[in-house]
Amino acid sequence: MDYLRIKKNAEFSKLFKKGKRVFSPALSLIYYPSRQAEMGIALSKKHGKAVTRNRIKRLLREIYRKNHHLLGGNYSVILMPRPAEEYGYGELEKSMICCFDRVNRCESSKKV
Partner RNA sequence: UGAGUCGAUCGUACGGUCGCGGGCUGCCGAAAGCAGCGUGAGGAAAGUCCGAGCAUCGCAGGGCAGGGUGCCUGUUAACGGCAGGUGGAGGCGACUUCAAGGAAAGUGAACAGAAAUACACCGCCGCGCUCAACGCGCGGUAAGGGUGGAAUGGCGAGGUAAGAGCUCACCGUUGCCCCGGCGACGGGGCAAGCCAAUUAAACCCCACCCGAUGCAAGAUUGGGUUUGCGGCUCUCUUAAAUGGGAAGGGCUGCCCGUCCGCCGUAAACCGUGAACAUCGCUUGAACUUGCAGGCGACUGCAAGUGUAGAUAGAUGACCGUACACGACAGAACUCGGCUUACAGAUCGAUCUCAUAUC
Partner RNA sequence: GCAGAGAUGGCUGAGCGGUUUAAGGCGCACGAUUGGAAAUCGUGUGACGGCUGAUACCCGUCCGGAGGUUCAAAUCCUCUUCUCUGCG
- The reply on whether position 57 binds RNA by CB under 7 A is yes
- The reply on whether position 17 binds RNA by CB under 7 A is no
Shortest gap between Cβ of 92 and RNA (angstroms)? Answer: 10
Q: Which of 21, 25, 33, 58 binds RNA (CB under 7 A)?
A: 58
Closest C-alpha among 101, 96, 108, 93 to residue 29: 96
Interatomic CA distance for residues 55 and 58, integer angstroms? 5
Longest Cα separation, the chain: 46
- In this structure, are strands 38-41 and 4-5 parallel, antiparallel, or unpaired? parallel
- The reply on whether position 69 binds RNA by CB under 7 A is no
Contact yes or no for 46/83 (Cβ under 8 A): yes
Shortest gap between Cβ of 69 and RNA (angstroms)? Answer: 13
Q: Which residues bind RNA (CB under 7 A)?
A: 1, 5-9, 12, 40-42, 45, 49-51, 54-55, 57-59, 61-62, 65, 89-90
